[in-house]
Amino acid sequence: MHGHFTRRQFLENALGTSAMLGGGLAFLSNLQPVSAEEAKLPASMLRPDDGIEPTLKLIEQTPRESLLEEVASRIKKGLTYREVLAGLLLAGVRNVQPRPQVGFKFHAVLVINSAHLASLASPDRDRWLPIFWALDRFKSAQAETLKTSGWKMGAVDEANVPSASKARQAFIDAMEKWDEQAADAAAAGVARGCGRDEAFELFARFGCRDFRDIGHKAIYVANSFRTLDSIGWRHAEPVLRSLAYALLQYDGPNPSKSDQDADKPGRRNAELVKKVKPTWRDGQPSAEATTHFLSVFRSASYADACDAVVEALNSGVAPASIADALLAMSSELLMRQPGILTLHSVTSSNALHYAYQAAGDPNLRLMLLLQNTAFMTLFRGSMNNRALPIKVDEFEAAAPSGEDALAEIFADAGSNRMKAASKALAYLNKTGDATDLMHTARRLVFLKGNDAHDYKFSSAVLEDYYSIAHGLRNRYLAAAMFYLPSSQAKDNALVGRIRAAFA
């Protein structure tokens, strides 16, 4: 089918009309465009009298089957993107339980930041789409929570909230003891008494310490703080309490009194950090080191891989060269065995890389780098023996056969992921510009995405593309064709509802 479209026609169809993608996005012309400036949500936006409570109640109390239509009606009357997103974020934290595992229904909260990132990176008229999808996802998770547990965020035990001067140590003590009640009160104390950056480093430390929930703890740390950066620190207390609750998830005996497999890499790496020279951040970038570490990550145990990282840092290799190998390896695991497990090697690596870049404490940054290393080998070890022998730095490019490169690539993704990746690599190498491919991928996620992972994965990959050195950058993005939506997939059911709501 792709031979009948020019590249311009394909982009017009993929990015706005109906012929190729089963209805397209033309209905958005009925909406006032959302500017990039409006979508940015400065931390000072929400004030005590900002009137957000009506929007929050609208989202919490309106039935799922009518929420999108009701919100659309309010938008026509002047409800802004900022108000919708702020209400959605707060409703998620107040109404969705991050247990029994950090994932499943809780993706309704985890995905909000990914949806917002997709909105920020999209043309003005597309910015409503991810948020409307996330609104519906929230209502599903809210209903599931009510059905299974009836949970809602309760009031903190004020008598046990530590003072500002004692909050930090109280939080550390509670988390190290895996004491849920003490951690809840201490998290409230941290929100009240610590600044954003100090709080982030506290939570990042405990978010990366264990491999339970295949990286979702680290993902929640990154996404929750990025969410707070959007809606304002005054909302930190319920978010940090929810986060502490999630980070203390475990099965079996209390981890502070046992030696479980999920905790062993973190405990070992906490000692290994002490062996790294103070000058580790001054190393020189090395493409050869990145290639070497790809080889290490393909076969080494977590202990051997982490030892190799320390040795490299002490010998003058830049940490960025190791980080490149980690991001690239995450995409290789996805190519070798596409699925939910390996997808999380990508999204957890994105979260740990974000935390590494955002943290100021050198020892915490080292810990994040070493834990990312350990997690990568553990993801690899969890794959079954049917993994394909594909190497992200070696697979061959294959030029598209017609003029319509993007149409061909995204059509092939529906039938042959390897072919789509090879053609994407050739396209990126030839054009030297990923913009059109990224915009097309986002639009397809908006139209075809049916799962939170579609948003989480695409936002992670399209963000980290710019973090990787040029030698691997195109290969990293091309490998994403193993999960990005195909143009041949059906539109998700919400597209029709949203279209009708704005008719």
Instruction: Tell which residue, 94, 90, 108, has the closest CA to residue 50.
Output: 90
Neighbours of 50 (CB within 10 A): 13
Query: How far apart are the C-alpha atoms of 51 and 456, rounded to whole Å?
Result: 30
Q: Who contacts 222 (Cβ-Cβ below 8 Å, separation ≥6)?
A: 113, 207, 350, 351, 352, 354, 355
Distance (Å, rounded) from C-alpha 363 to C-alpha 269? 11
**Cis, bond preceding 42 (omega within 30 deg of 0):** no
Rounded to two decimals, the pTM is 0.89
Cα(298)–Cα(293) distance, integer angstroms: 8
Which residues fall within 8 angstroms of residue 341, CB to CB, at 6 or more apart?
214, 379, 382, 383
Nearest partner of 417 among 318, 328, 486, judged by Cα? 486
Q: Which residues of 332-360 are buried (b: 16+ CB within 10 A; e: fewer)?
A: bbbbbbeeeebbbbbbbbbbbbbbbebbe
In 3D space, the residue among 471, 469, 476 whose CA is nearest the CA of residue 320 turns out to be: 469
Comparing CA positions, the residue from 248, 226, 191 lying closest to residue 109 is: 226
Structure tokens at 5: 């479209």
DSSP-derived 3-state class of residue 431? helix
Tokens of residue 81, six digits: 């993107």
Torsion of CA 170, 175, 177, 181, to 10 degrees: 70
- Distance, CA of 334 to CA of 319 (rounded, Å): 23
| Residue 82 to residues 34, 190, 463, 494, Cα–Cα distance (Å) | 10, 27, 22, 21
**Beta-carbon contacts of residue 169 (< 8 Å; ≥ 6 apart):** none
Going 481 to 487 to 490 to 493, the CA torsion angle's sign is positive
User: Within 13 A of 200's CA, how many CA atoms are on the CB side?
Assistant: 25
The pLDDT profile of the chain, 503 residues, written as one tens digit per residue, is 344 444 444 444 444 433 333 345 555 555 666 766 666 655 443 343 457 889 999 999 999 999 999 999 999 899 888 788 888 988 998 899 988 888 788 999 999 889 888 888 877 767 788 889 999 999 999 999 999 999 998 999 999 999 999 999 999 999 999 999 999 999 999 999 999 999 999 999 999 999 999 999 999 999 999 988 887 788 889 889 999 999 999 999 999 999 999 999 999 999 999 999 999 999 999 999 999 999 999 999 999 999 999 999 999 999 999 999 999 999 999 999 999 999 999 999 999 999 999 999 999 999 999 999 999 999 999 998 888 999 999 999 999 998 899 999 999 999 999 999 999 999 999 999 999 999 999 989 988 988 899 999 999 999 999 999 999 999 999 999 999 999 999 988 887 787 777 76
**Which three-class secondary structure string do you get for 37-67?**
HHHCCCCCCCCCCCCCHHHHHHHHHCCHHHH
Sign of CA dihedral 213, 218, 221, 223: negative
Cα angle for residues 421, 348, 141 (degrees, 5° grid): 100
* Closest to 445 measured CA to CA, from 436, 435, 458, 434: 458
Cα separation, 254 vs 478, whole angstroms: 43
Q: How many CB atoms lie within 10 A of CB 182?
A: 19
Q: What is the distance between the alpha carbons of residues 336 and 132, in angstroms, rounded to a whole number?
A: 33
Give domain limits for the chain: 31-148, 158-253, 261-382
Question: 3-state SS of the chain: helix, strand, coil percent to 5?
Answer: 70, 0, 30
Q: Residue 26's pLDDT is what?
A: 54
Question: Bridge-partner residues for 317, per DSSP?
Answer: 284
Residues in Cβ contact with 38 at an 8 Å cutoff, skipping those fewer than 6 apart: 80, 81, 82
